[in-house]
Amino acid sequence: MIKYLRYFLFSRHCRGHGIHSPFVFDLVSRVFRNKTDSDVVLMIENIRKKNITGNRIISVLDLGAGSSKMKSNLRKVSDILRYSAVPEKYGILLSRLAKEFGKPCMLELGTSAGISTMYLAAACPDSIVYSIEGCPATTEIARENFNLTGCRNISLLTGSFDEKLPELIKRNISPGLVFVDGNHRKEPAIRYFSQLAEISNDRTVIIIDDIHCSDEMEEAWSVIKNHEKVTLTVDIFRMGFVFFRGGVNRFNYVVRY
């Protein structure tokens, strides 16, 4: 609560007022507020509701920091959707960012049940989304959800980030957008970011989820902001956006969303 109050007091306005960078002003005033296809949102949110109302239980292989709300490895799919999937508000934001930055491809670390993946894929159907998930049982839930949407531009990879991320890097992919939502620990978060920075260009945005969820993640976010390749960051409390753009003044913005 104290962290959020501090963020609220010091954040710039959600309409872009007080932001002097033309790029960030455009990002906040146009991209953040861009229209999202209501039919796509309804479709994905209906899939969320379908998962939440069911009684299915799966055995979860958790390779990250673990869940603060789900301690057992036997978990209800409904709880995974409640506590691990991005809320609708942030799913819509991901779709807007995917539409703006999602070409030639996108990369997601942490598929979970696939809600965020579907928001990314539906917003930019001409771009492939490579999504990595460490838990085989959760992967199956995501795959079932993808089949319900009819999205054909998702490549789902099952395995640890340490195993699958280097495989993707060897393919020489250059993602326009990366969404990191897994393994919320300081050392892995910094290590994965460093690997992703190597395959990013000045058009890439890396989105890191839960940057204020723990002291470890706040420490990782602080290190990431000061990475030598980073020129600009935007903190909306739940997520942090990292850019590598040339021709902009290096600055760390805090924006209300």
User: Could you give the number of structural domains in the chain?
Assistant: 1
pLDDT in tens, 21-60: 899 999 999 999 888 999 999 999 999 999 999 899 999 8
Q: What pLDDT score was predicted for residue 14?
A: 61
Q: What pLDDT score was predicted for residue 15?
A: 58
The residue-averaged pLDDT of 161-173 equals 96
Which amino acid does the sequence have at 218? E
94: containing domain: 2-254
Q: What pLDDT score was predicted for residue 3?
A: 79
Which amino acid does the sequence have at 145? N
Q: What pLDDT score was predicted for residue 173?
A: 94
Cα end-to-end distance, the chain, whole Å: 16
Q: What percent of the chain has pLDDT over 90?
A: 77
Q: What pLDDT score was predicted for residue 212?
A: 95
- pLDDT of residue 182 exceeding 90, the answer is no
Q: What pLDDT score was predicted for residue 100?
A: 97
Tell me the pLDDT band of 86, cut-offs 50, 70 and 90: very high
- pLDDT of residue 184 exceeding 60, the answer is yes
- pLDDT of residue 127 exceeding 90, the answer is yes
Q: What pLDDT score was predicted for residue 12?
A: 62
- pLDDT of residue 67 exceeding 80, the answer is no
What gap in Å lies between CA 182 and CA 173, rounded to an integer? 20
Tell me how far CA of residue 181 lies from CA of 13, 34, 134, 207, 234, in angstroms: 26, 23, 12, 9, 17
Looking at residue 235, which CATH number applies to its domain? 3.40.50.150
Mean pLDDT of the chain: 91
- pLDDT of residue 71 exceeding 60, the answer is no
The candidate with the shortest Cα–Cα distance to 136, out of 157, 167, 115, 106, is 157
